[in-house]
Structure 1
Amino acid sequence: MKLLILGGTAWLGHQTAAAAVSAGHEVTCAARGTSGKPPAGAAFLQIDRDADDGLASAADRHWDAVIDVSRQPGQVRRAVRGLRGAADFYVFVSTGNVYASQREWGQDEDAALLAPLTDDVMGSMENYGPAKVACEQAVTEGFGSGSRAIVRSGLIGGPGDTSGRSGYWPLRFARGGRVLVPDVPRQPTQLIDVRDLAQWLVQVAEERTAGVFNAVGDTVPFAEHLEAAAAVAGPPGVAAVAVPAPARWLREQDVNEWSGPRSLALWLEDPDWHGMNARSNARARQAGLQLRPLRQTLADTLAWEEAAGVARPRGAGLTQAEESELLALLDAVGAGLSGK
């Protein structure tokens, strides 16, 4: 298969290109080249997707399939216009953020979507969902529903996850001692390994599996996610003990949810967002998506985190000083927090 990957130098794109090369395909990564290099065995085509004719060098060749991960509607519209006559099948990697509601558990691909962004450029992450809706529409209008796959990914984790969302908990438990955790044992978490997603994207392109799919992991309660993280951390020098803190108290201490500075990774207090981590993946599984066990993903992510440097800054979690301060405050209020 002659496969064109629009990108292929950053995390998911690079993993996808590597999976395609390993499967014996002829892979070309088309990008500016500022985010890194394509994997060994893949060709590189320098392009500028923001230029009106930026894909001209790709449009004069034939491609069995294209895989696109862009979030900018203008880039996708230009790609569809330029490649419509050059490619047989188009795989677009979208997101679960396209759905109008993130509250309901178990929603499938037929759930209502947000209104599409009308601009060519997504100016901020607040427009991420609408921008991806616009991208999806452009692909469907250009290639038709029978020659395209829309893959709505959930939270991606695994080795190389610089966001810190999948690495924070196993790394923290590996350090040992008292581990501050949000007291939300039943809150859903849903993580797909980047390697599983990449492998399946290649399979979808190979088999020309048309449709719309939620490419998400299995839903796991927060308590089970923490148990898995603790299990893969192994026996630390000082035993790790989870110390639950009420969500209300954490908010009062300016601890952030989900990711970013001074956060507890994957914590989402607002039930209006819990459905984001509890979507149905039945359709994707029926189409061949295979998921490795969560423990394997977390163990491999821990190994990658440790190799990358334990002391380096991360995109999610508490610093050691922040956690120590919070644990001391939690000890001070003690039993008075019960039930809050």
Structure 2
Amino acid sequence: MTDVLILGGTGWLSGRVAERWADAGASVTCLARGGRDAPYGTTLVTGDRDEPGAYAALAGREWDEIIDISSNPVHVAAAVEALEERTKHWTYVSTASVYAANDASGADESAELLEPLGLDDEPDYGRAKAAAEASVRSALGHRAAIVRPGLIVGPGDPTDRFGYWVGRFALAGAEDVLVPDGTDRGAQVIDVDDLADFIVAVGRARWTGVANAVGDPVPLDRMLRHAAEVAEHTGTLRPADDAWLEAHDVAYWMGPRSLPLWLPADLPGFWTRSNAVYRLLGGSLRPLRETLARTLADERERGLDRDRRSGLARPDEVALLAQLRGRTA
């Protein structure tokens, strides 16, 4: 039987990875703080990675595969030090945000990375992941896979970015929806379940190397049209240009009072990374409409008008639409 250790295993992505390994017949152990159940068929070992001795309960065990998705480079370095000699293969789930530049289209895994985050540096997600990658490569380069996802989407997404659009179109119904001007903008998404399948596949094959786990580039206008159609929205999409949105304090990409997935015009590389390695390794990408439909079902269950981590509250959006109509009247 394959012995798998997941550092985490109770979160959104790591939980799906744990489920798939268990479904494949592996003996799966999840190391997590507790407070959330581990997936059915797995074993939860409680451990706080902020505390000394977090891995003591795993002493003496040998693993065929270890998976870590942490963005805390201190946690990753400590795990590598404690467990590197106890596994045949290690998969680290990084991010496409480790790349130093986003101004060139079609860049692959050989592109320059950000400088790794230092212990005394201000927090930075991309640099933190770069530091974590460096720890894994230094100790386990010949036994490690590094997977760099782009925007992970689908049911259960805690960031509320991708789901904002299909949820908003469903909530608006026959009313208008504010959208960014999508000229020369796009998105590159991967369904969480496709990503989980890929992470398990590289672990089973003990593949070593680096792969961008990203979807095919899709123009933003097309993605928004698909979202509206899946949600059966019958209102009008009202585009606003960058200058107008910025002047009205609407943020790019994510977070409160934002239009999720909308990017500045000078970042074409952010949504056009090469996924050739992912494809060559057999990574699958389900149709965008399927992911949108799955996401809409999840959005309805969670509440279309709930408070969100990303996007505009509907009353704020309606007020902005009124101002936009006044400008164009």
Interval containing the TM-score (normalised by the shorter chain): over 0.9
Question: Who is 1:109 aligned against?
Answer: 109
For 1:232, which of 230, 233, 236 is the aligned residue? 230
Corresponding residue number in structure 2 for 1:16: 17
The alignment-based identity, stated in percent, is 46
* Paired amino acid for 2:27: E
- Mapped partners of 1:221, 1:311: distance in 2: 27
1:129 aligns with 2:129: no
Match of residue 258, structure 1, among 250, 253, 259: 253
Please report how far the alpha carbon of residue 245 of structure 1 lies from its aligned counterpart in structure 2 after TM superposition.
Answer: 1.2
Deviations 1:285-316 (A, max 9, x none): 11121111111111111100100112211111
Instruction: Measure the CA separation in 2 of the matches of 1:258 and 1:182.
Output: 11
Write the letter of the residue equivalent to 2:205. Answer: E
Structure 2 gaps, min length 5? none
Q: Distance in 2 between matches of 1:91 and 1:228?
A: 34
TM-score, normalised to structure 2, is 0.95
1:338 aligns with: none
For 1:138-175, what per-residue CA distance to the aligned partner results, in whole angstroms no more than 9, with x for missing partners? Answer: 1111112x210011111111000121111111111113
Preserved CA contact (<8 Å) 1:152 1:212: yes
SS of the equivalent of 2:85 reads coil
Whole-angstrom distance in 2 between the partners of 1:314 and 1:274:
27
Structure 1 residues not aligned, in runs of 5+: 336-340
Q: Is the 8 A contact 2:114 2:127 kept in 1?
A: yes
Q: Which moved more, 1:8-17 or 1:326-335?
A: 326-335
Alignment of 1:1-340 (within 5 A): 1-34=2-35, 36-119=36-119, 124=123, 127-144=124-141, 146-175=142-171, 176=173, 177-234=175-232, 236=233, 239-271=234-266, 273-334=267-328
List structure 1 segments (4+ residues) > 4 angstroms apart after TM superposition.
Answer: none
Q: Are the equivalent residues in 2 in contact too, given 1:73–1:122 (CA < 8 A)?
A: no
- Give distance in 2, aligned partners of 1:122 and 1:259: 23
TM-score normalised per structure 1: 0.92
Deviation, 1:20, is 1.4
Q: d(CA) in 1 for partners of 2:326 and 2:127?
A: 45
Amino acid at match of 1:221: P
The residue identity in structure 1 corresponding to 2:156 is G
The residue identity in structure 2 corresponding to 1:245 is A
Deviation of the 1:46 alpha carbon? 1.0
2:293 is paired with a residue whose SS is: helix
CA distance 1:281–1:122, shift in 2 (3 Å)? farther
Q: Is the 8 A contact 2:168 2:304 kept in 1?
A: no
Q: 1:173, 1:132 → 2: CA distance? A: 34
- The answer to whether the 8 A contact 1:184-1:247 is kept is no
C-alpha displacement of 1:82:
1.0
State whether residues 174 and 240 of structure 1, in contact with CA within 8 Å, keep that contact through their aligned partners in structure 2: no
3-state DSSP of counterpart to 1:254: coil
Q: What SS class does the counterpart of residue 27 from structure 1 fall into? A: strand
Root-mean-square deviation (CA, aligned residues, Å) is 1.4
Q: Give the aligned residue type for 1:184.
A: G
Structure 2 Cα separation of the partners of residues 122 and 302 of structure 1:
39
Q: Is the 8 A contact 1:91 1:201 kept in 2?
A: yes
Quote the offset at 1:186 in angstroms.
2.8
* Amino acid paired to 2:186: P
Judge conservation of contact 2:108–2:212 (CA < 8 Å) in 1: yes
Give the CA deviation at 1:123: 5.2
Equivalent-residue separation in structure 2 for 1:59 and 1:274 (angstroms): 46
Distance in 2 (alpha carbons) for counterparts of 1:28 and 1:310: 35
Number of residue-to-residue matches in the alignment:
326
Between the aligned partners of 1:49 and 1:123, the Cα distance in structure 2 is 20
Query: Secondary structure, in 3 states, of the residue corresponding to 1:5?
Result: strand
Give the whole-Å Cα distance in 1 for the aligned partners of 2:126 and 2:179.
29
Amino acid at match of 2:155: P
Distance 1:196-1:122 versus aligned 2 partners, 3 A rule: farther
Cα distance, 1:122 vs structure 2: 7.4
1:133 Cα deviation (Å)?
Answer: 1.2
Task: Give the counterpart letter for 1:54 in structure 2.
Answer: A
Instruction: Look up the SS of the partner of 1:110 in the other structure.
Output: coil
Distance (Å, rounded) in 1 between the aligned partners of 2:59 and 2:6: 13
Q: Deviations over 1:237-266 (max 9, x none)?
A: xx2211111221111111111111111111
Question: Could you tell me whether the CA contact under 8 Å between 1:169 and 1:226 is conserved in 2?
Answer: yes
Does the CA-based 8 Å contact 1:188-1:277 persist in structure 2?
yes
CA distance in structure 1 between the aligned counterparts of 2:160 and 2:90, rounded to whole angstroms: 31
